[in-house]
Structure 1
Amino acid sequence: MGLRNGRRRIAVAVAALLATVAVAATVYRVLAPAEVSTPARAGYPPAASPAPGVVGRLPVAPLIVDGRLRVYAAHRQVYADRPVGGRHRTTPFWSYRRWPAALDGVVASGTTVVTRWSDGRVVALDARTGRVAWRADGPAPVGERAVRRTGAATVWDPRGLFVARAADGREVVLTAGAWVRAVDLTDGRELWQSHTTVTLPPDESACRDAVGTTASGQLIIVDSCGNSTVVEFRDAATGRVGLRWRPAGAGDELVATPVGCGTGRTGCAGLRTAAPGDDAGRGWLLGAGEPAAAPALDRPDAELVDGTAVAVVDGVVVGRSARTGAELWRRADLPQARLVAVQPGRAHLLTGTNDLVTLDPATGAQRSWFVLNAGSDGVGWAPGAAYAAGGFVAVERLRKPVDPTGDDQRYYLTSEPVILAAT
């Protein structure tokens, strides 16, 4: 009798142990760090050149890559669809997902898509196949950031993630947080990190903010660690500081905003400086030496494209030489115009009735003009974030009156709030 009871207790204990192991294995499979890569199963699509006009509407913000794909951001996933001029979002061409990290930023250069994650991991993907090209570690992003459902902040304005073309032609990926790390875009090989190139305060992120890269291959850092704020220009390929600069007559505190940049504040040709909370700024052109004063960029709404400062002044769209300040052209025939985006060879404006007007920044000549409307949605909306690249323009459409504190259903016009147009 005692022997049978002993065997029964052993059997129960073994069964309980096996059940515990099974549960633990299931939990591990579900919660363990993992990545899932779903590469493309079709050929790389050809580049598209659609006629000017509205292409379609999308539920999420697209990043145009190589003129062939649209890349999107989800909470834990980056994925692409095609064709680039498709009317709606389609089945993913490729997809890459990580767990439990969250996607924090995406940039692209040529056929390489670079993703940054909440744990600091940087993963580069080949846009042609969706396969992982390389992985690297870097500093984790600092602080919280609100990202609405379109993911526009992740793909159109990533924080602390930049690409720069160095003087020797190499392309460099830079990630910034509590420190800075630079890797080669080609293979992810480390080039430098700020821990080893300069003596820093214990918490660099508290007073050093990387804000963009220059067209000449420098990382722009706003350094407020001392008594007076200084703008630092650091060589992207070596990490060496080439210049520490502040405008003459500036106060101790300073805000510096790059202008004339590509997507993600990369390759910036200018800078605007101002006191915190002050719209009265000073514009500067960036080059090999110290920034050169460019009063045509003083206005907070002025944009720099192809050497021209474009702004709406008293209802008139004006183009001025950023270097000399000379007026190049003016357009008084665009009612209630608002400059929403620029890209090489194009300045994009919305009229009061949401017509999208695209001008040549060098001459002010009209490239295209059409109503920015999809289906029966109408034009009774307010523009939100906007993006321009590869001849395309994408604009978030917001419900009027705009309520920045409202949930996404109240904030956006429809379930497909992003309108995409070719110009």
Structure 2
Amino acid sequence: MGIPRGRRRVVMAVAALLATVAVAVIAYRVLAPAEVSTVAHAEYPPPAQPAAGVVGRLPVAPLIVDGRLRVYAAHRQVYADRPVDGRHRTTPYWSYRRWPAELTGVVASGRTVVSRWSDGKLVALDAPTGRVLWRADGPEPAESEAVARRTGAATVWDPRGLHLADLSDGRAVVVASGDAEARGVEVSGGQQLWRAELPGRCRSDLGTTASGQLIGLDRCAGPATVEFRDAATGVVHKRWRPPGGPDELVVTPLGCRTGRSDCPALRTSGPGDAAGRGWLVGPGEPVAAPVLDPAGATVVDDQVVVVLDGAVVGRSARTGAELWRSADLGAVRVLAVQPGRAHLLTEANSLVTLDPVTGRQLSRFSLNVGRDGTGWVPGAVGAEGGYVAVERLRRPVDPAADDRRYYLTAEAVILAAT
């Protein structure tokens, strides 16, 4: 005896409803906003002391944290591996993932790693454990016109709109800015210190000074103007233009730590200018530093390092006096600087590291690993904690090419200890 037609319709309707509910539950579990934190289950590694030379090669760009970990950026994940001088990327030491937000920037202050996400959230992680220390609201990042490459170098070495500032009282502040607003958050506990409204895409933040100010470029009304905002309070202390400078100003921070933070100087120029004018920046008005005018000149430890007429020259940033000269390195260019080190790259892709105060050579070796060779062009560079990491690009460089053609190999980043 079959099921009556009316009861059959009820059974079918109930089954359809249950199927719909099941699909909805599955869709919610898959698509609902979520975060997954996988903390460390091993001992925090000690600082490594590798000999000078190539350490290894990696598929993604590392941010060296506390001299012990390498932190990486993925599309929706920030994660770390160890040891810091490992030859290849290893299984994550810890990992933090969010959905559906995308990771847009990572900076590190001491043992705190601060990540920024496309929904504006700031999430601080403890480097030794990977545990979440705090979460804070921030402005949504400005839309980037840069091509997102697979190494994630822009996210960890040059995160636009995310900067660190060290204050005179010992505190560290992370500043996040977008088109409409900027916020300052204390790194130690995630407390919001200030919030400021911004006029839109006609203004952008470029970095922070070593004296705790946020450097902004305002092109909204009239000639482009540099503004210096106190990272502790959010108050704009001064607006400045270089005397006789062009209306369409190009401003390049110099000598910064990774992430355009703690920059002691900047260069101003007009669009398309090969060089420009160098300035030391501090609590007061920017001070002209003609020794920083030449293209390629940079500053580290109050010394300017520049290549002039085939020689590498060290000069006092404040007086311009020549302190040392090295004319036996051949054709080189300044690749990067970090406290206590000036890194130069030769035409044959050897890395030469000098003491910026004395000019003494600290190390020299070929940036080659395995059978990769040195027939590549340097791309983005990160220098931190005595290490240098360089993207290797295929010759000739084609910015419009896909990643397989753009990079030299699948493990495109070479890591060296100096």
Q: Which runs of 4+ in 1 moved over 6 A?
A: none
2:414 partner amino acid: I
1:67 partner amino acid: G
- Name 2:20's counterpart in structure 1: 20
Judge conservation of contact 1:142–1:205 (CA < 8 Å) in 2. Answer: no
1: distance between equivalents of 2:170 and 2:350? Answer: 40
- Name 2:157's counterpart in structure 1: 156
Judge conservation of contact 2:216–2:228 (CA < 8 Å) in 1. Answer: yes
Displacement after TM superposition at 1:413 (Å)? 1.0
1:17 partner amino acid: L
SS at 2:67 equivalent: coil
- Name 1:223's counterpart in structure 2: 218
SS at 1:206 equivalent: coil
SS at 1:397 equivalent: strand
2:395 partner amino acid: K
Say whether residues 1:117 and 2:117 are aligned partners. yes
Q: Which whole-Å deviations, capped at 9, do the CAs of 1:57-111 have from their partners, x for residues lacking one?
A: 1111100000000000111111000000111110000001111111101000000
Quote the RMSD (CA, aligned, Å).
Answer: 1.4
Say whether residues 1:208 and 2:203 are aligned partners. yes
Match of 1:377 among 372, 378, 381: 372
Q: Which whole-Å deviations, capped at 9, do the CAs of 1:128-160 have from their partners, x for residues lacking one?
A: 100111111111111233221111111011100
2:191 partner amino acid: R
SS at 2:14 equivalent: helix
- Name 1:191's counterpart in structure 2: 193
- Name 1:405's counterpart in structure 2: 400
- Name 1:392's counterpart in structure 2: 387
2: distance between equivalents of 1:261 and 1:44? Answer: 28
SS at 2:305 equivalent: strand
SS at 1:384 equivalent: strand
1:170 partner amino acid: R
SS at 2:57 equivalent: strand
Displacement after TM superposition at 1:287 (Å)? 1.4
Say whether residues 1:303 and 2:304 are aligned partners. no
Say whether residues 1:138 and 2:151 are aligned partners. no
Match of 1:349 among 344, 355, 358: 344
Q: Which whole-Å deviations, capped at 9, do the CAs of 1:371-402 have from their partners, x for residues lacking one?
A: 11111111111111111111111111111122
- Name 1:63's counterpart in structure 2: 63
Displacement after TM superposition at 1:418 (Å)? 0.7
In structure 1, runs of 5+ residues without a counterpart are: none
Match of 1:232 among 227, 230, 233: 227
1: distance between equivalents of 2:275 and 2:82? Answer: 43
Judge conservation of contact 1:216–1:287 (CA < 8 Å) in 2. Answer: yes
1: distance between equivalents of 2:65 and 2:3? Answer: 73
- Name 2:39's counterpart in structure 1: 39
Displacement after TM superposition at 1:3 (Å)? 8.7
Displacement after TM superposition at 1:252 (Å)? 2.1
SS at 1:375 equivalent: coil
Judge conservation of contact 1:318–1:331 (CA < 8 Å) in 2. Answer: yes
Say whether residues 1:127 and 2:127 are aligned partners. yes
Aligned residues: 416
Judge conservation of contact 2:246–2:269 (CA < 8 Å) in 1. Answer: no
Displacement after TM superposition at 1:2 (Å)? 12
1: distance between equivalents of 2:110 and 2:261? Answer: 14
Displacement after TM superposition at 1:5 (Å)? 1.5
1: distance between equivalents of 2:271 and 2:408? Answer: 33
Say whether residues 1:283 and 2:285 are aligned partners. no
Q: Which deviates more, 95-104 or 221-230?
A: 221-230
2: distance between equivalents of 1:231 and 1:240? Answer: 14
2:108 partner amino acid: A
1:27 partner amino acid: A
- Name 1:165's counterpart in structure 2: 166
1:56 partner amino acid: G
2: distance between equivalents of 1:251 and 1:86? Answer: 48
In structure 2, runs of 5+ residues without a counterpart are: none
2: distance between equivalents of 1:303 and 1:30? Answer: 49
TM-score w.r.t. the length of structure 2 is 0.97
TM-score w.r.t. the length of structure 1 is 0.96
Displacement after TM superposition at 1:276 (Å)? 2.0
2: distance between equivalents of 1:58 and 1:331? Answer: 32
Q: Which whole-Å deviations, capped at 9, do the CAs of 1:184-240 have from their partners, x for residues lacking one?
A: 111111111003xxxx5xxx2322211111111111111122212211111111111
